[in-house]
Amino acid sequence: MSESKKQNLNALLIIGDDSVANYSDYVSRLIKGLSSCSSVLRVVSTGDSTASFVSRMNIESTKYPLIKTVVFEKYSYTKLVEFVAKSKPNIIHALSNRDLRVTKKLATEFDIPYVVNYFEKPTILSRFEAFGNNCQCIFAGNSRIKQKLESMFRDVSGKVRRFEYGTFVDDKIACFDSESRLASIAVVYPMENVKEFQAFFGALRHLGIDGYEFMVAMIGQGNQDTACRKLVQDMGLSHLVNIVGNVKPLRKFIAGADIFLQPWPSKEFDTSVFEAIAAGLAIAVPECECDVLNEGDCLCFDHKDELSLYGVLKELLDNRDKARAMAKRAQEHFREQNSDSNMLESLCKVYFDAVDSYNK
C-alpha cells in the first residue's frame, strides 16, 4: 500500500462477542494487520469478552455500552461519539451484523460509509434490517449466505460480495506424513442436530466392518451433545469416534490429523475448512461447500447419502499418495490466494472504494 493511501485510511472496527467467540484468530490478525497499514485504527467492543480480548492488544479501544442499562444508554452513546470523534474515521467496519444498529447510527452521525460482515445466514427477522445509503459493502461468509442476502435485500444486492478469509499456511503437509501413525479424521461441526451425523456415522460403521483402521476426532459443541454421544455408542463406534468439544487453537489440534471432513453444509461462515487446508489435510466436503476450493483440491459427497460418504472416505484411506497430492494442491492454491497479506490488501481496497463511492 502506498504511503499516501495509508495516510488517508482511518478505520473504526466494531467487534462483538460473537466475532471473538467464533473467529478470534481472524479478529486478532485483522487488528494487527490494519494497525500496520492504516494511519489510525480504533476499536469499539460491544461485549465483555471482546473488551477483555482487545485490551491485551496494543490498540486504542472503548467498550459500548459502558453500562448495560436503559438509564445509562444516552450517556454511553455520548462517550462513544467522543471516542470516535478523536480519530475522525473515514470508514466503519462492523465485524458482525448483530452490531448493525450502532454501526448505522455512528455512520449517520459522522456522515461516513460503513461495511458489514454477515457470517450467519440471514433469518426472517433480518428482513426488518435496513442498510441505508451509508452502507457500501456487505461481506457474505459463503456463497449460500451471499445468495440469501441478494434475494432478501434486492435494493443492495449489488453491494454484496464474498468475504475473503486469509490465514498463514504451514510449510509441511499434515496428510499422512507418517506411515506408522494410525489414520485420523478431523470433523469440526456444531452438535445441534443429531440427524446431520447419521449418514456419516453409518459410513464409519461400514468402514470399520470392512477392516479399515482409523480414528475420528469430532470437534464441536451444541444442545445435541448427549444425543450424539449416545448415537456413537448405540452404533458401536465408541472405539473409533472421540467427541472432544471445542478446542483452541483449532489449527494446532487438527494439524495432527490426515483428513478433514465436514459432514453437513455449514449454516454459517466456517473457518475450520480454511485452517484444515492451510495445515495440509486432505479435504472432503459437501458438494455445496466446494466454492471454497478449486476443483480437484478436494473430494465432494452427497451429505445425505451414506454410500457417498463411505466412497469418499474409502478413496482417501486407500490412496494415501493421492490424498497427499490433493492436500498439497489445495495448500499451494491457498498460499497464493488466501494469505493474510492478500486478505488485507483486498479489504483495504474495499475500504478505499467505499470511501470514494460514498464521497461521490
Confirm if 169 and 334 have CB atoms less than 8 A apart: yes
Quick: pLDDT tens for 328-338. Answer: 999 998 888 77
pTM equals 0.84
pLDDT the model gives residue 72: 82
Superfamily covering domain 3-166+339-359: Glycogen Phosphorylase B; (3.40.50.2000)
Residues contacting residue 306 through CB under 8 Å, at least 6 positions apart: 199, 202, 203, 206
Please give the share of the chain, as a percent, with pLDDT higher than 90: 64
Q: Which of 29-38, 65-74, 132-141 is least confident?
A: 65-74
pLDDT at residue 46 tops 60: yes
CATH of region 183-337, choose from 3.40.1190.20, 3.20.20.300, 2.60.40.10, 3.40.50.2000? 3.40.50.2000
Residue whose C-alpha cell reads 478433514 in the numeric block: 260
Give the pLDDT band of residue 270 (cuts 50, 70, 90): confident
Confirm if 95 and 118 have CB atoms less than 8 A apart: no
DSSP code string of 320-342: HHHHHHHHHHHHHHHHHHS-HHH
Quick: pLDDT tens for 138-161. Answer: 999 888 889 999 999 988 999 999
pLDDT at residue 290 tops 70: no
Q: Which of 12-16, 88-92, 118-122 is least confident?
A: 118-122
- CB neighbour burial string for 160-187, b if at least 16 within 10 angstroms, e if fewer: beebebbbebbeebbbbeeeeeebbbbb
Domain range annotation of the chain: 3-166+339-359, 183-337
Mean per-residue pLDDT for 330-359? 88
Tell me how far apart the alpha carbons of residues 139 and 141 are, in angstroms, rounded to a whole number: 6
pLDDT at residue 267 tops 80: no
Taking the chain, what is the end-to-end CA distance rounded to the nearest angstrom?
23
Q: Residue 349's Cα: distance from chain center in Å?
A: 20
**Cβ atoms within 10 A of the Cβ of 92, count?**
26
pLDDT at residue 226 tops 80: yes
Of 13, 34, 36, 11, the residue nearest 91 (C-alpha): 11
Give the pLDDT band of residue 291 (cuts 50, 70, 90): low
Quick: pLDDT tens for 160-203. Answer: 998 888 788 898 999 999 888 899 999 999 999 999 999 999 99
pLDDT at residue 6 tops 60: no
The reply to whether omega before 65 is within 30° of 0 (cis) is yes
Give the pLDDT band of residue 252 (cuts 50, 70, 90): confident
Provide the mean pLDDT of the chain: 90
Q: Identical fold at 3-166+339-359 and 183-337?
A: yes
Give the pLDDT band of residue 288 (cuts 50, 70, 90): low
